[in-house]
Structure 1
Amino acid sequence: MHRGTRTEYRPARVLLAAVVTLLATVVTGPAATAAPDAAPSARAAATLRCSLRTASPVTFSPAVSGTPRNVTARGTVNLNGCTSPDGRRKSIRSGRLTVRGSGRATCSRVSGVRGSATVTWYSGAGRTGRVVGRSAVTPAAAGVSGYTPLDSFLSGRITSGPMAGRHITGRAAPTTNVSSCYGRGLRSVGLRGTVTVS
């Protein structure tokens, strides 16, 4: 029984990963362009780290299911508690990421992700204070390993605005029940996790 439960959550997580990937890509651009040895040094020199949580569930049209199909995802993600490990982005305390993307998705994977996203950065917690800037992001078309399509958006590169040219990585887990994915399909999902710009 426990084993079956894990199987149910894994596809939902993959979908979330795809969504996250889509979001992350929008924020930073294709992660595939990074050099093979860039990950360790990037992690050590992180420019910004934030927690993430969907402002409202990310929606899918049509619903994501066990059958591969072209799916469009839309959503808004709040970035909170942002800190700057390398001290270069101390002025950023929070942000809001809006994303719209599409890809061929199932409950366990997503590919061919396309779309765009914008992150608005704020000087205060909870998206208060002054707007520090806006970053444009594009998704990693190949997607990444993770739990859902959202993870694909959490693996990309910022193409313009603050931190342009830097990579973004993230991971998100569902905050809503995703066990229906292989049955009637999944039309929306809530997420929470972390994101790093390096």
Structure 2
Amino acid sequence: MMPEKNPYIVFTKHTPYIVMDVDTIIDENHQKLKASSVVALCRCGKSSAQPYCDDIHAVDGLREEKSKDRAPDHLKDYIGDDITVHFNLGVCCHDGCCVEKLPQVFDINKKPWIQPNNGKIKDIINIVEGCPSGALSYSIGSRRYQDLDRPPSIHIQKDGPIEIKGFIKLKDDENTVPACKEHYTLCRCSSSKNKPFCDGAHLDGNFE
């Protein structure tokens, strides 16, 4: 019997993302890329071989660090009668799926911007589970729900971040731990203030 794979993403402040033992990588056109035991993915945003690294970062050097003025890593609770929604702005990639698909609950023009009593529990859960960054989670009673049960996979978002699913471990030179270990988003435009995680900076920088 073949040993079970232990997928990892390994990197330092000066290197691309080295993906190890991940069989499923989906490109921005929803096509499965050829599997390899070790793959280097671009994080500087300049590779001509996207999503792969082509070593272009070596020209100017690469120093991917968190900024001191990044959004704070803090969990805020939005309490409803039957469900509580938790939100961590510090890891939000501003995907927008929540405000687009369930605006009666998620509306940035209202205060509070999350109002759980305005939607059905099953609809709120579907939105939370679709949040790619792990910024959203929810509690029913005393139990908090955040992780999903999915096989390891990597999804390249069009003009956006790298979406990680299925408990792929991170290992870097700063002992980075994602807020949600099952799913999170990695920056690949090099503009995020919360590196290695995406903070939505690609939206303002016209990243392609």
TM over 0.5: no
Question: Which has a greater percent of strand?
Answer: 1
Question: Which has a greater percent of helix?
Answer: 1
TM-score, length-scaled by structure 2:
0.24
